[in-house]
């Protein structure tokens, strides 16, 4: 989906501080990159495409301008991949518990 219309739920992106405007105490690697911001809201413009500069109304009613990066953004975080390194823990402990009261 590349095109959004008024009132669509969208995500926008902004540069808050360029690398040269960053705080003095920032470490060197961080100073090389800008401070970026992402926020979601309902599109105020009649229509827009990904990459356009748009204005949104956030859920608290703030109007924020930025570059349109996602239309109807969703969460995709999950339970990750199978972690084989964890597999021994449960069976190992249950075995120990069955074995009773031994002390080292």
Partner 1 sequence: MSKDMSYAAVMARKGEIMKKAVGLDYEQFERDGIVFDYEAMMTGTGYSLEDVIDIQRASCVSQTPLYEMKNLTKLARMYAAEGKGARIFIKDEAANPSGSFKVRRAAISVHHAKKLGYKGVIAATSGNYGAAVASQAAMHGLDCIILQECYDSKGKGQPEIIEKARKCEAFGAEVVQLSVGPELFYTFLRLLEETGYFNASLYTPFGIAGVESLGYELAEQMKALEGKYPDAVVVTNAGGGNLTGTARGLKKAGANETEIIGASVDLSGLHMASDEQFNKKSFTTGHTGFGIPFTTWPDRSDVPRSAARPLRYIDRYVTISQGEVFYMTESLAQVEGMERGPAGNTSLAAAFAIAKEMDEDQIIVVQETEYTGAGKHIAPQLSFAKENGIAVLVGDPKDNIPGQNIILPENPGLISIKNLDLNRIRKSYIKNALHGRLDDTLSANEMNYIEEETRADSDFISLVINELRSE
Instruction: Determine, following the binding rule CB under 8 A, whether residue 97 of this chain makes contact with partner 1.
Output: yes
Instruction: Determine, following the binding rule CB under 8 A, whether residue 70 of this chain makes contact with partner 1.
Output: no
Q: How far is the CB of 5 from partner 1 (least distance, A)?
A: 22
Task: List b or e across 28-65, with b for residues whose CB sees 16 or more CB atoms inside 10 angstroms.
Answer: eeeeeebeeeeeebebebeebeeeeebebeeeeeeebe
Instruction: Determine, following the binding rule CB under 8 A, whether residue 44 of this chain makes contact with partner 1.
Output: no
Instruction: Determine, following the binding rule CB under 8 A, whether residue 95 of this chain makes contact with partner 1.
Output: no
**Based on CB atoms, which residue is closest to partner 1, 38 or 53?**
38
């Amino acid at each position: 989906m590349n095109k959004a219309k008024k009132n669509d739920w969208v995500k926008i992106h902004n540069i808050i501080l360029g690398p040269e405007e960053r705080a003095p105490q920032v470490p060197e690697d961080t100073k090389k990159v800008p401070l970026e911001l992402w926020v979601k809201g309902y599109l105020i413009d009649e229509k827009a495409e990904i990459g356009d500069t748009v204005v949104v109304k956030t859920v608290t009613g703030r109007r924020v301008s930025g570059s349109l990066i996602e239309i109807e953004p969703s969460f995709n975080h999950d339970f990750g991949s199978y972690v084989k390194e964890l597999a021994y823990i449960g069976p190992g402990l249950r075995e120990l518990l069955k074995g009773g009261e031994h002390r080292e």
